[in-house]
Amino acid sequence: MKKLRPMLIIIIAFVTLLTLPGCWSAKGLSSLAIVTGIGIDKGASLDQLLLTIQIVKPSQAQVPSSEGGKSRGKAFWNATCAGETMIGAIREVTHLIGKEPFLAHSNVIIFGNDFATTGVKKTLDFFLRNPETQPTALILVASGRAGDILNVESEAEILPVQNIIKIIKGAAAISQFKVITINDFTNNLMSKTTAPIAPLVTITQNGNRQNIYVSGLAVFKKDKLVGALNDMETRGLLWTTGDVKKGLILITSPEDTGNVAFEISKSKSKVTPEIKDGRVIIHIEVRTETNLVEQTSADKIYFPVVALLEERQAEVIRQEIMAAFDKSAELSADIFGFGDIVYKNFPAQWQSLEDHWDEVYPRIDLVLDIKVTMRETGLVTQPVSPEK
């Protein structure tokens, strides 16, 4: 018995280890309905959710190797189901197809416009609590119904959701919107003052074809959609948060005979708050590097005008930031997260500001310090024009 005891302990330990962690039951791949995206719309009644769940049909989605140009059926199926709760509505799918919806690959979550204005809070709990759903799933706000967005087929991709992801990942670089995940969204939502944002997605009509267009940001107040930022305002927000990666700055040429386009190559920002006589002052420091990529005039770009060009670019940035701030002040939604910054720097004074931040926010003084450095001018040194 004494000899057996260590053996017994090992066996017991292994049996417990096997049974306790709960990863016992295997799920066959063919018993899963792979969900790639979820659209959430307002249902018939106020409490009801109307879900559009995009389920992949694997055999159709696979690129055929030998059949060549043989036309296929649709590679996806949008199941629509209603319910009081997210989980209730998703369970409905099992009734329809006899497979368990597998949410781990639902990488896109789209809120319909109607639903977003009534508040999205009640659905977020599901996404955070469920072990399958990924906190890195992208959040989008549709200008119309979310279900319609999921129906737009693309030429390039087999699944609409893959198309959306590709557009978002690819176009984020040109700084017309910001990629927001469930994590980002809930972090903003949980903050007392910061307003959550999410990219806006619309359907554009091009002849017979419908296309997806992602541009601008939807602005939430608490969890309700209150407004939207256009492209210019969006970039204004991104300048301050330091999220501008690439993009164009368009200014008039030194002699005002045409336009000059600059490509942003690098941008940094620094936000420092200050409280003076009870007024909140925010210093925003933006350092940007740009490259000249095109000019439509025949103006000579030489050293003395560089400072002028840099100043004009800085002016563009200034205008964009101010536009974004004015818009947010109008909505009284703190999309910049200034509240959190003030709280972190002046925790003592924050006590008095916290309760009426909504009134304080529109009256914040912005002090902008913008510096643009021109780095390269491309391969040509002389403008393309007849010799004078």
Per CB under 8 A, residues contacting another protein are: 14, 17-18, 21, 23-24, 26-30, 32, 34, 36, 56, 58-59, 61-62, 102, 104-105, 107, 132, 134, 162
Alpha carbons 170 and 199: distance in angstroms, whole number:
14
Q: Among residues 34 and 238, whose Cβ is nearest to another protein?
A: 34
Q: Among residues 102 and 262, whose Cβ is nearest to another protein?
A: 102
Q: Among residues 14 and 302, whose Cβ is nearest to another protein?
A: 14
Alpha carbons 4 and 170: distance in angstroms, whole number:
62
Q: Among residues 162 and 240, whose Cβ is nearest to another protein?
A: 162
Alpha carbons 211 and 156: distance in angstroms, whole number:
11
Angle at 131 between CA 126 and CA 132, to 5 degrees: 90
Q: Among residues 105 and 245, whose Cβ is nearest to another protein?
A: 105
> By three-state DSSP, how is residue 152 classified?
coil
Kindly state the smallest distance separating residue 111's Cβ from another protein, in Å. Answer: 21
Angle at 186 between CA 285 and CA 160, to 5 degrees: 100
Alpha carbons 290 and 246: distance in angstroms, whole number:
9
Residue 273's Cα: distance from chain center in Å?
A: 26
Kindly state the smallest distance separating residue 48's Cβ from another protein, in Å. Answer: 30
> By three-state DSSP, how is residue 165 classified?
helix
Alpha carbons 187 and 191: distance in angstroms, whole number:
6
Kindly state the smallest distance separating residue 19's Cβ from another protein, in Å. Answer: 9
- Name residue 290's amino acid: T
Kindly state the smallest distance separating residue 62's Cβ from another protein, in Å. Answer: 4
Q: What's the distance, Cα to Cα, between the start and end of the chain in Å?
A: 107
Q: Among residues 30 and 45, whose Cβ is nearest to another protein?
A: 30
> By three-state DSSP, how is residue 371 classified?
strand
Kindly state the smallest distance separating residue 93's Cβ from another protein, in Å. Answer: 16
Angle at 242 between CA 237 and CA 247, to 5 degrees: 75
Pairing of strands 108-111, 138-142: parallel
Q: Among residues 105 and 221, whose Cβ is nearest to another protein?
A: 105
Kindly state the smallest distance separating residue 203's Cβ from another protein, in Å. Answer: 23
Q: Among residues 54 and 193, whose Cβ is nearest to another protein?
A: 54
CB 222 within 8 A of CB 266: no
Kindly state the smallest distance separating residue 32's Cβ from another protein, in Å. Answer: 7
Element (H, E) at 276: strand 259-276
Kindly state the smallest distance separating residue 157's Cβ from another protein, in Å. Answer: 10
Q: Among residues 9 and 190, whose Cβ is nearest to another protein?
A: 9
- List, in sequence order, the alpha helices (H) in the chain: 4-19, 58-61, 86-97, 113-118, 121-129, 146-151, 160-171, 182-190, 231-241, 303-331, 338-345, 347-354, 357-360
